[in-house]
Amino acid sequence: MKQFYLLIFHTICLVSEKSSIFADSSSSTKAPLSKDAISEENGIKFGEQGSSLEHVLTVGNGISMSTKSFFTKYVHSQQPVIFKQAIKSSPAYNLWSDNYFLQLDDIPKDHDVLVESRKKENRSAPPVRMPFKEFVSIYNVTDQYMVEPIPPFLLKDFILPHHLQCQQLMRDIIVEAFMWFSSGGTSSVVHTDSVENMNCLVAGKKRFIFVSPQQSDLVPIDHPEGAYSGIDVDNVDLSKYPGVPQVDFLYADVEAGDCLYIPFKWIHQVRSYDRNIAVNIWWDTFRNSELNLDVCDSAFDPDWSLNRVEFTGFQGLDGSPAIVRDHITDIMKSESSDFDSFVIKLGVQLLDEEEFQQTEEYDEIIAVAKQMFSILDVDQDGRASRNDLEMLSDDHWNVIGYNFNLIRSMVDEILEADGEEIGAGQEPHDEL
């Protein structure tokens, strides 16, 4: 049952060891075009071509903020913000050295982690799995980096920043907390997240480049099935992406101890520097309105670690009408689709394989897809358009979500029967 949320949670991002590109993060003026902004091919990197480049808002060093203040000031307005030194008091900030990891003796022998093999993110490159300690022993001499839900034996080390310490948020709305771990020199694709995202940096530095949703037409997400753009982040092809120079970019320079709020659907790209460990805390944007901020904890609890969080998991988003609506609206953003192109845009594993298309299982899946498409095509003209989607009710989206989940279940069963890893090469990626 992983197919849909592997389409929803996108991207992992890391970068190079050139810390000189970091400007004064308190500045709101255009950052200079540095030598490090030029790629080896003498191309201009993503974020250095726009009409302006300003730093995101910053909450000063160690300033504590309640969940109510955070949501009221920043989440409700969908405004990126850095909380400086928000996790510096967390044990992870001081403990998470390679020696600490290698000396842990409470790691189950069968506990392994997902490892990517290329520091410049490539969605077509399959990841591998290996024991955690093996990764720690080799990552400094390879291009491999880890992306995995924080291992259970490390949850106790990470104390939630004050602005996320709310019982209801931690019990009902947090999806997952992921750990990104590399030696630096990594970069992400240009992408969006279909969740709210708090990126906390335990070690190293990162630079984030942002494009607001209001300017999303200038930076097309031309791979909507994975919520990312085909832009080469080291050498932007302005003939293919002519809107990029018109963008009012924002950037965020994040250092160890800082947390950065990345709002739902903000386009961004990330580069990581030096030995780099980050923790991403994801929560369901469509449940923000359910949060009773008046009963959230107002005082900071220095013992509130991640092992007290009840993660809903990606399955907690499974079949949500709001998420299904958002995903399908995204993949059909620019044009109407006939049935064949709609199936391709769904991006479901196996459906584009010619050999599988000759099987009875394929015919059964396509029959379900046709039922879903018939609902989307409100005017029954053979094409589903944005106008059609806007006419659908929540009841319609419930049925569409059920059919989409049914397709995923059918594909998962086929993959499991064939002994294949479900979602191989499509694991959730984000801010490396």
Are residues 390 and 249 part of one domain? no
Are residues 335 and 257 part of one domain? no
- Euclidean distance between CA atoms 363 and 192, whole angstroms: 33
With CA atoms as reference, report the closest residue to 280 among 366, 343, 358, 188: 188
Are residues 287 and 205 part of one domain? yes
**Residue 372: how many other CB atoms lie within 10 Å:** 24
Are residues 297 and 336 part of one domain? no
Q: Which of 272, 302, 317 is the last residue of a domain?
A: 317
Sort 379 into a burial class: Cβ within 10 Å, 0-12 / 13-18 / 19+. exposed
146 phi and psi, to 5 degrees? -100, 140
Are residues 371 and 312 part of one domain? no
Q: Which of 317, 339, 357 is the last residue of a domain?
A: 317
Are residues 162 and 112 part of one domain? yes
Query: What's the average model confidence in pLDDT over 240-265?
Result: 95
Are residues 351 and 214 part of one domain? no
Q: What letters, b where the CB count within 10 A reaches 16 and e where it falls short, cover 211-224?
A: bbeebbebbbbebb
Residue 423 inside a domain? The answer is no
Are residues 187 and 52 part of one domain? yes
pLDDT class for 118, splitting at 50, 70, 90?
A: confident
- For the whole prediction, is pTM greater than 0.85? no
Residue 61 inside a domain? The answer is yes
Are residues 183 and 290 part of one domain? yes
Per-residue model confidence (pLDDT) at position 328: 82
Residue 422 inside a domain? The answer is no
Residue 432 inside a domain? The answer is no
Per-residue model confidence (pLDDT) at position 7: 43
| C-alpha atoms less than 13 angstroms from C-alpha of 152 in its C-beta half-sphere | 9
Sort 230 into a burial class: Cβ within 10 Å, 0-12 / 13-18 / 19+. middle
pLDDT surpassing 50 at residue 13? no
Residue 2 inside a domain? The answer is no
Which of the two residues, 42 and 247, has the higher pLDDT score?
A: 247
Query: What's the average model confidence in pLDDT over 126-141?
Result: 92
Domain of 85: which CATH number?
A: 2.60.120.650
- Euclidean distance between CA atoms 42 and 39, whole angstroms: 5
Are residues 259 and 121 part of one domain? yes
8 Å CB contact between 330 and 224: yes
Using DSSP, state whether 211 is helix, strand or coil. Answer: strand
Residue 426 inside a domain? The answer is no
pLDDT digits (tens, 9 = 90+) for 183-215: 998 899 999 988 899 999 999 999 999 999 999
Are residues 108 and 231 part of one domain? yes
Using DSSP, state whether 390 is helix, strand or coil. Answer: helix
pLDDT class for 221, splitting at 50, 70, 90?
A: confident
Residue 62 inside a domain? The answer is yes
Residue 431 inside a domain? The answer is no
pLDDT digits (tens, 9 = 90+) for 267-297: 999 999 999 999 999 999 988 988 999 988 7
Q: Which of 272, 289, 317 is the last residue of a domain?
A: 317
Structural domain boundaries, residue 333: 321-417
Q: Specify the number of domains making up the chain.
A: 2
Are residues 198 and 71 part of one domain? yes
